[in-house]
Chains A and B, each alone.
Chain A
Amino acid sequence: MSNNLLVLCDPDRDQVEIARIAARSGATIGLVSTAVRPQDMPAVGCRVEEVRDYGGVSVQALDEPLIAGAALAQLSSFTDAVIVHHLGQWAERLTAHHIESPERLDLELISMGSVMNAGLTDVILVSTPMEEGRSAPLGAAAEQLHRRMLEILGPYCAEVIDLSRAAR
């Protein structure tokens, strides 16, 4: 069974530590990056992995702002761990894109959960903490979806590592 983790942190600042956590699983690390906006995705080749630096470690990266569970499955096929960076941003992208279609939002969470549950690789979910005053500012819909992400995907994680609390 895989060892999925939820890392609560400042996603921009704590990448070195996240990479160090991922490296416990093995040498080959994947990254699903939700940073690119859907409209900025290239028409061709967005699912061809590229080597990037993440917190000082070389990772096999895919940009995927929407169907992140599917991207996770693709990277799972040859990695020891995959970092999903990050849930708040993914929630923003999804709500902006599927704002009229709550079932599509659910579907993406279901997809991510099913891949995490299949034990294909260790999954490192990166998220900002949701406690009052500590979460990054998101729109109301994205905030709500982010909470649902943590509710739905949290149970697939063996451990929650709160780097933000450690930093304080």
Chain B
Amino acid sequence: MRVALIHPPDAIIPIVPCSSIPVLTAVLHAAGHTVKAYDAGQIVARETLQTDKVEHWYDLMEAAAADLEAVGSRDAEQNAELRRLQRLLAMPRSMIAELDDAIAMMRDMDRFSNPAIFNRKFDVLRACFQLVYSLNPDGYFNMRRVGHDVLGSPTPGLPDPPMEVFERLVDRILADRPDIVGLTVPFDSAIFFALKIAQMVKARAPHVVVIMGGSAIESNSYPVMTDPFYFTVLDYVMIGEGEVQFPRFVDAIASGSDPREVNNLRWLAEDGTIGKTEMLLVTDLNAVPAPDFSALDYDNYMLPNSLGTLQTSRGCYYGKCTFCSELFRKGFRIRRPDLVVDDMVAIYEQTGIRHFHVWDSLAPPKTLKKIALEVKARNLPFVWMAETKFERPYREEETIRILAEGGCRFLQFGFESGSSRVLDLIDKGNDLDDVDQTLAHMKKYGIRAGVTWFIGFPGETEHEADVSYDFIASRRDRLMFSGYARAFSLGTDTILYEQQERFGIEAFMKSEGVLDFRYRDGTEHWDTEERNHAFWVRGDFYLIMNSIHLHYSTLSQEAIMAVTGQERCGPLIRHINPDVLERTPFVRTPEVSVRHFRVNPQSAAGEGYAIAFHSLTGFSFDLDADGVRLLEVLDTPRTYAQIVTATGFAPERIHRLVDLAVNRGMVRAIVEVHDIHYLPEADLAAKVLASS
């Protein structure tokens, strides 16, 4: 059988291949099938992220906006489109001229390792990437269509570059005459694109069997497992893991037997209901072959050293975090560590890759230790990182030494919160006092650390959210990357959702596919928006998401800090010593640009307005005249009093504007390190350690 495996884009810059493609390639090859793999995200990037193309699209937006501005009386729809275009056009066109060079930088270790170059070029790359996926109103980064609307008629007008690439890609795929097209969706974002691709395949070649599977298949936004509608473009959905059942499914198609006898399947039955077979997980991870990367085109991924992804376990050995999806918690199984090292060797021999990301829900520390011992014993030139949590074994210096000697350069911890009370609500099982001990050992042996965390868990106070930020911010000499993952969002397959009464909450559907909660005593949860802005712009989640961290983990502390959001945007106002605040100068951050627009589609009066674009986050913010004036005068560093003098605004107004601008990373305080103070609670763990 000829199988086309497609990994649709997942709204992340294609820097590493998703692990499902090599895993499925390996098992299909072992079963004697032919595989062609297509990383559609990588293909879209290759075909769209080019200076001349993006400049052309930018100009089309400019022309479309001008046409709308010229309309005498715009209707609501036209005003909404004009506003959408203006927000995109707030990104300076001049950035696009650097795009080709930005992509070249991503593959050039010297320039990639230079923070000044990296920051600028990576911002350019991300901004252009975002534009490509936003150009058409249906673009992913706009209000993406959820539910059945995803397969509706496209909105006419501006091009939709990813969809245009998909059209050509599907032609290419079908030219190879596949028997089966498999779409793998590791993230919810990929389902949006997978359904579009499936629709194109079915429109051109109804006879080709289309099947979708992957870890994100249980989607609230696109319930493909339960809603017959989606079977207009899908023949089958495979739930659970594919290593055993997917080859069986392909075998069944090949032999002409009924594939509906294969486990883990969903299909549309004759009576219009969803047919299903029992879900089985892989019983023996040791029996699965090593991932096969041969079907992927590694030359087109954007990293100076290619990165291989692999898993040592499935499910989570902890399994108790109340916010986490059951998908990641249940069914813990493990692959023998010596086989994992064999996998790394096989990948190295096949591709030359020697940098690895161990991509488990939660990698067991003993597994990592055994991998390290094996790598050292076999004298393998591997550098690797893994995702874990602050566990007891990492308090032991010996463990950290062994990991370092065996090639580990980065550990990313699921930290979640700097508040013990919130950690207990989550049932994380972390002791904050362990964190400093672990970080101290890691620093000693040169393993860099990162943490992922969030705010807004039910029961968390605003103060506790601030403690989390400060806990991390005050340890940046030991914590390389702060993976702030945005405010909490509730999932249906979580302990929290199942036990809402225990947490005093009530879940409700805020909009299609989006859950929210309120407290049972009638109160609403606090508004996370401004903290979300403040922590996101100072966080490094996008560096982690794009696998920058393993490469930067080998650089100096200064180089690492220079690429962090915290360093680039500086402290929050509350961190500045009150005694020096009035004499602290503020300056506009270089990542911010302001564009004026003649017409404000949100205002009946029709006066002009401005939008600030932040290249670090890609966010844009409306500015009123006072905001524009503030950013103008802060081209030069000025204190509060000097800003008052320069603008003529009231001091209270200036304080409010500066606070907001600093919060969102548009303005930076120039302050000595010794005048930056964090909440005392954030330092508690370190003090306990020092006193003991």
Chain A residues packing against B (C-beta within 8 Å): 43-49, 67, 69-71, 73-74, 76-78, 103, 106-107, 110-111, 114-115, 117-121
Contact B320 A46 (CB under 8 A): yes
Per-residue CB proximity of B405-437 to A under 8 Å, as 1/0?
000000000000000000011010101000000
Q: Closest CB of chain A to B399's CB: distance in Å?
A: 8
B392 at the interface (CB under 8 A from A): yes
Q: How far is the CA of A48 from the CA of B434 in the complex (A)?
A: 13
Contact A120 B367 (CB under 8 A): yes
Chain B residues packing against A (C-beta within 8 Å): 278-281, 283-286, 313, 315-320, 330-337, 364-367, 369-370, 391-393, 396, 424-425, 427, 429, 431, 502
Contact A111 B332 (CB under 8 A): yes
SS class of chain B's interface: helix, strand, loop or mixed? loop
Candidates A43, A69, A76; contact of B366 at CB < 8 Å: A76
| Max chain A C-beta neighbours (<10 A), residue from B283, B313, B317, B391 | B317
Contact A114 B285 (CB under 8 A): yes
Contact A43 B334 (CB under 8 A): no
Q: How far is the CA of A48 from the CA of B320 in the complex (A)?
A: 11
Q: How far is the CA of A21 from the CA of B334 in the complex (A)?
A: 26
Contact B317 A118 (CB under 8 A): no
Q: Closest CB of chain B to A10's CB: distance in Å?
A: 30
Q: How far is the CA of A160 from the CA of B281 in the complex (A)?
A: 29
In the complex with contacts A70-B317, A70-B332, A107-B331, A44-B427 CB distance below 8 A: yes
Q: How far is the CA of A5 from the CA of B366 in the complex (A)?
A: 20
Q: Tell me how many residue pairs across A and B have CB atoms closer than 8 Å.
A: 95
List the B side residues contacting A67 at CB < 8 Å: 319, 332
List the A side residues contacting B334 at CB < 8 Å: 73, 114-115, 117-118, 120
Contact A44 B424 (CB under 8 A): yes
Contact A74 B318 (CB under 8 A): yes
List the A side residues contacting B337 at CB < 8 Å: 118-120
Q: Closest CB of chain A to B438's CB: distance in Å?
A: 13
Contact B393 A78 (CB under 8 A): yes
In the complex with contacts A73-B334, A77-B365, A110-B333, A117-B286 CB distance below 8 A: yes
Contact A118 B336 (CB under 8 A): yes
Contact B336 A73 (CB under 8 A): no
Q: What are some 5 contacts across the A-B interface (CB < 8 A)?
A: A70-B316, A73-B317, A78-B392, A103-B278, A110-B284
Q: Closest CB of chain B to A126's CB: distance in Å?
A: 21
Other than the known A73-B364, A76-B364, A77-B392, what 13 A-B pairs have Cβ atoms closer than 8 Å?
A45-B424, A47-B318, A70-B332, A73-B313, A77-B391, A78-B393, A103-B278, A103-B279, A106-B283, A114-B285, A115-B317, A115-B332, A118-B337
Q: How far is the CA of A120 from the CA of B338 in the complex (A)?
A: 11
| Max chain B C-beta neighbours (<10 A), residue from A76, A78, A121 | A78
List the A side residues contacting B278 at CB < 8 Å: 103
Contact A117 B336 (CB under 8 A): yes
Contact A74 B427 (CB under 8 A): no
List the B side residues contacting A44 at CB < 8 Å: 424-425, 427
Contact A43 B427 (CB under 8 A): yes
Cβ-closest chain B residue relative to A76: B366
Q: How far is the CA of A9 from the CA of B502 in the complex (A)?
A: 40
| Max chain B C-beta neighbours (<10 A), residue from A70, A76, A115 | A70
Q: What are the nearest 9 A-B pairs in CB distance?
A: A73-B317, A77-B365, A120-B366, A114-B333, A70-B332, A77-B366, A70-B317, A118-B334, A47-B429
Candidates B280, B367, B392; contact of A103 at CB < 8 Å: B280
